[in-house]
C-alpha cells in the first residue's frame, strides 16, 4: 500500500485517459495515470514493426481530434506537428484509371458526372448541418431523460432548438435519414458507384455493419464530425500517431500528472458500493478519491471490478454491450514507393480506398456476419512515408491499412494459419491496384482484432470500445444505467471511448468525463 492518496487514478494512458488527466490536473487535482503497456497512448502509438520501419500501429489517420481540446491543452505549444493535413481520399478504380478524389465536400476525377459532383457537395453540406447539431450534444455529457437535472434539460432544450433552427426541410430530413442506412441514402443522391462505394466505407469503418445495415447514416455523420472540426480530410502527425501520445504526456506532466507505465491494474477494489483503490500486478494498492477507467466498459467491469461485485442486472447489461471488432490492421515494410496504377507519387500519399462500389463492401460484410474472412475486403490505406521520412530508412516506405472486415469471433479462430491467409488476401487485394507491390515487401504484419485486443487491452479489439449503434449512444452509452461517465459503483468513472460520445482519436470522452468528475 502506498501512502499517498490521489484525487484521481486513471486506468489506462490512452488518449482519452491522458486528456482526462490533463483537465483534472488543470483544475488542481492530484492525478496518477497507470498504463499497462510500456508506452502511453493506447491506440495512438508509433511502433517499429520491422527493423528501421515504424508505423502508427493503432489509429493511422487523425481526422476528428476535437479542436477545443487542442487549444485548451495548448497541444501545439507542447509539440503537436503535422506531417500532412487535409489529405485527399482517393477512391481507387479497379480499372487502374478514373480514380475519384474526395477533398472535403468536393469530389472530382474519373468518370464522375458534373451532376454527381454537385449533388455530393449539396449532400455533404446538408449532412454537415446535421453534424453541427450532433456536435453540440457530443460536447456535453449526454442528457438523462428520466431524473434529468437542469443541466440535462438545458442540453435537451438546446438539442430541440438546434433541430428547429435547421428549418423545416432540414429537420424533417434529419429525422428521416437519422436511422436509415447509407446504401439507400447514397442511392437517393448519387449515381457514381465508385464514389458511393468509398463513401459507404466511411460509414462502416471499424464497425460491425455493412452499407445496408440500418444505423449507417448515423455512423457516417459521426465520421463527418471531423470535417466539422476543420479536418478537410485526414491528417498525419510527424513521427506517427505516437506523437499525439507524447504531446499529451508532455502536457500532462507539465500539469503535474504522475504517469507510470508497465503498471497494469489488476483489480479495482470496492468498499461495498464504492471504488476505493486499485491493485497493480506487483501487488501495490493505491488509494484515490475517484477511480477513472479509460479501459473499455467490458474490461472495466468483467476484469477489473468483477461481475460478481456488481448487481446482476447491470452485469448482464455489460455482458451484452456489442463490441466485437471487425477491422484488422495490415502493416507492410516496402523497399520502395508502391506503384498504384494511375496514381502519381504525391497521390500515393493520399488516403487510398478500396471500395469499388457499395455492393463490394456489403459482400465483404456478408462473410463477416458468419464469422468468415472476406475474400475481397474493403480497405483504407495510408503510406505515411510519402510525407514523413522519419518512419523508414531513406527511400523505403511503410504502408498501413485498415482491413474491413475481419471478424473478432472468427469461426475457425485466429490461428497463425488464419492470420497468414488473411494477410495474403489483404496483400492480394492491394496488389490488384499496385501490381508490383509484392516484390517490394520486406516485412509484413497483420493484426487481427484478437491481436488488437491483446495489444491495446481492448475487449474485442473494437477501436470505438463499443459499436456506435443507436442503442449504444448518448444516454445509452455504454449501457443504460451507466451514463454521464458515472457507473453504478460510486467514485468509479469511465473516460474512454466506451462512454459518450465514443470516438476514434476525438478526445471528447476524456474531456467530458473530467468535467463530470470535477462536478463531483
Partner 1 sequence: MNELSALPQHTTQMMLHTPFHSRVVEACEINEWSAWQGYTTPSSYTNVEFEYFAIRSNTGVFDLTPMTKYRITGADAEAYLDRLLTRNIAKLAVNRVAYIVMCNDAGDVIDDGTVFRLADNEFRLCTQERVLDWMMWSAAGFDVEVIDETADVAALAIQGPTSCRVLRNMGFAGMENLKPFGMQTFEFNGARIMISRTGYTGDLGYEAWMAPEQAESFWDALFEAGKLRGIRAFGSEALDIARIEAGYLAAGVDFVPAEQIVRNGRGRSPLELGLGWLVDFNKPVFSGRKALLKQKEYGPRYRFVKLSVEGNKPAEHSFIYCRGKAVGTVTSAGWCPTAKTNVALASLEMPYGRPGDELEAEIYYMRELHWTRLMAKCTIITKPVWEPARRLQTPAPDA
Binding site for partner 1 (CB under 8 A): 270-273, 302, 306-316, 319, 481, 488
Q: Looking at beta carbons only, is 245 or 475 nearer to partner 1?
A: 475
| Smallest distance, partner 1 to C-beta of residue 311, A | 4
Shorter beta-carbon distance to partner 1: residue 483 or 512: 483
Nearer to partner 1, 252 or 278 (CB): 278
Measured from the CB atom, the residue of 261 and 302 that comes closer to partner 1 is 302
Q: CB 478 → partner 1: shortest distance, Å?
A: 16
> CA-CA distance, 83 to 66, in Å (whole number)?
18
Q: How far is the CB of 369 from partner 1 (least distance, A)?
A: 23
Cβ at position 317, least distance to partner 1 in Å: 9
DSSP string, 125-139: HHHHHHHHHHHHHHT
Pick 146 or 394: Cβ nearer partner 1: 146
Question: Of 63, 49, 21, which Cα lies nearest the Cα of 330?
Answer: 49
Cα(391)–Cα(383) distance, integer angstroms: 10
Q: Are 464 and 219 in contact (CB under 8 A)?
A: no
Q: Peptide bond before 501: cis, by omega within 30 degrees of 0? A: yes
Closer residue to partner 1, CB minimum distance, 270 or 468:
270
Q: Give CA–CA dist 250/335, Å, rounded.
A: 34
Min dist CB 486 to partner 1, Å, is: 12
Residue placing its CB nearer to partner 1 in the complex, 50 or 270: 270
Task: Measure the CA–CA gap between 177 and 162, rounded to whole angstroms.
Answer: 17
Q: Residue 359's closest CA among 182, 205, 222, 176?
A: 182
Q: What is the DSSP letter of 299?
A: I
Residue number with CB closer to partner 1 (295 or 332): 295
Helix 193-204, helix 182-189: angle, nearest 10: 150
The helix (run of H) or strand (run of E) holding residue 7 is strand 5-11
Residue 85, burial from CB neighbour count under 10 angstroms (0-12, 13-18, 19+): middle
- Cα 152 from chain centroid? 26
Closest approach of Cβ 288 to partner 1, in Å? 19
Q: How far is the CB of 130 from partner 1 (least distance, A)?
A: 32
CB of 144 to partner 1, least distance (A): 15
Q: What one-character-per-residue DSSP string does 88-100 give? A: -EEE--TTSS--E
CB distance 211 to 360 below 8 Å? no
CB of 487 to partner 1, least distance (A): 11
Residue identified by cell 453541427 is: 132
Which one, 306 or 389, has the nearer CB to partner 1?
306
User: Of 350, 388, 349, nearest to 103 (Cα)?
Assistant: 350
d(CA 330, CA 324): 18
Report, in Å, the least distance between residue 297 CB and partner 1.
14
168 or 308: CB nearest partner 1: 308
At closest approach, how far in Å is the CB of 301 from partner 1?
9
Nearer CB in complex with partner 1: 1/312: 312
Closer residue to partner 1 in complex, CB, 230/308: 308
- At residue 346's C-alpha, the angle toward residues 344 and 347, to 5°, is 65
At its nearest, how many Å lie between partner 1 and the CB of residue 483? 14
Bond into 3 cis (ω within 30): no
Going by their DSSP bridges, the two strands 265-271 and 106-108 should be labelled as unpaired
| Nearest partner of 398 among 49, 119, 31, 148, judged by Cα | 49
Q: How far is Cα of residue 149 from the mean position of the Cα atoms in its chain? A: 31
Q: What is the largest CA-CA distance in the chain?
A: 69
Amino acid at each position: 500500500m502506498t501512502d499517498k492518496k490521489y484525487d484521481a487514478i486513471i486506468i489506462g494512458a490512452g488518449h482519452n485517459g491522458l486528456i482526462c488527466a490533463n483537465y483534472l490536473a488543470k483544475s488542481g487535482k492530484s492525478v496518477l495515470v497507470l498504463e499497462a503497456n510500456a508506452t502511453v497512448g493506447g491506440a495512438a502509438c508509433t511502433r517499429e514493426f520491422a527493423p528501421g520501419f515504424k508505423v502508427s500501429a493503432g489509429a493511422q489517420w487523425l481526422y476528428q481530434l476535437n479542436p477545443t481540446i487542442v487549444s485548451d491543452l495548448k497541444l501545439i505549444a507542447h509539440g503537436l506537428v503535422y506531417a500532412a493535413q487535409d489529405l485527399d481520399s482517393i477512391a481507387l478504380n479497379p480499372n487502374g484509371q478514373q480514380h475519384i478524389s474526395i477533398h472535403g465536400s468536393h469530389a472530382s476525377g474519373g468518370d464522375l458526372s458534373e451532376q454527381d459532383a454537385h449533388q455530393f457537395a449539396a449532400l455533404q453540406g446538408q449532412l454537415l448541418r446535421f453534424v453541427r447539431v450532433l456536435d453540440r450534444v457530443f460536447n456535453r455529457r449526454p442528457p438523462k431523460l428520466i431524473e434529468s437535472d437542469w443541466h440535462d434539460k438545458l442540453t435537451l432544450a438546446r438539442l430541440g432548438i438546434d433541430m428547429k433552427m435547421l428549418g423545416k426541410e432540414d429537420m424533417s430530413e434529419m429525422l428521416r435519414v437519422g436511422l436509415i442506412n447509407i446504401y439507400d441514402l447514397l442511392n437517393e443522391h448519387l449515381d457514381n458507384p465508385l464514389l458511393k462505394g468509398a463513401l459507404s466505407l466511411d460509414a462502416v469503418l471499424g464497425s460491425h455493419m455493412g452499407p445496408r445495415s440500418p444505423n449507417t447514416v448515423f455512423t457516417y455523420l459521426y465520421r463527418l464530425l471531423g470535417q466539422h472540426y476543420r479536418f478537410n480530410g485526414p491528417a498525419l502527425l510527424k513521427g506517427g500517431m505516437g506523437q499525439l501520445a507524447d504531446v499529451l504526456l508532455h502536457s500532462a506532466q507539465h500539469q503535474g500528472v504522475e504517469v507510470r507505465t508497465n503498471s497494469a491494474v489488476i483489480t479495482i477494489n470496492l468498499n461495498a458500493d464504492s471504488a476505493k483503490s486499485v491493485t497493480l500486478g506487483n501487488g501495490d494498492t493505491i488509494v484515490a478519491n475517484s477511480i477513472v477507467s479509460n479501459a473499455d466498459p467490458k474490461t472495466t467491469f468483467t476484469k477489473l471490478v468483477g461481475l460478481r461485485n456488481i448487481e446482476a442486472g447491470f452485469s448482464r447489461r455489460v455482458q451484452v454491450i456489442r463490441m466485437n471488432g471487425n477491422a484488422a490492421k495490415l502493416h507492410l515494410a516496402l523497399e520502395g514507393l508502391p506503384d498504384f496504377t494511375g496514381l502519381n507519387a504525391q497521390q500515393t500519399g493520399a488516403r487510398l480506398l478500396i471500395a469499388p462500389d457499395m455492393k463490394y463492401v456489403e459482400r465483404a460484410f456478408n462473410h463477416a456476419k458468419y464469422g468468415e474472412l472476406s475474400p475481397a475486403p474493403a480497405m483504407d490505406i495510408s503510406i505515411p512515408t510519402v510525407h514523413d521520412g522519419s518512419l523508414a530508412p531513406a527511400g523505403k516506405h511503410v504502408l498501413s491499412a485498415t482491413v474491413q472486415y475481419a471478424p473478432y469471433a472468427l469461426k475457425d479462430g485466429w490461428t497463425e494459419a488464419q492470420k497468414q491467409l488473411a494477410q495474403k488476401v489483404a496483400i492480394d487485394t492491394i496488389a490488384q491496384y499496385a501490381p508490383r507491390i509484392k516484390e517490394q515487401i520486406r516485412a509484413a504484419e497483420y493484426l487481427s482484432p484478437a491481436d488488437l485486443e491483446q495489444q491495446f487491452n481492448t475487449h474485442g479489439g473494437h477501436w470505438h470500445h463499443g459499436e456506435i449503434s443507436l442503442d449504444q449512444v448518448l444516454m445509452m452509452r455504454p449501457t443504460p444505467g451507466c451514463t454521464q461517465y458515472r457507473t453504478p459503483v460510486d467514485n468509479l468513472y469511465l473516460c474512454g471511448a466506451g462512454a459518450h460520445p465514443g470516438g476514434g482519436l476525438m478526445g471528447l470522452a476524456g474531456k467530458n468525463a473530467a468535467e463530470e468528475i470535477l462536478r463531483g
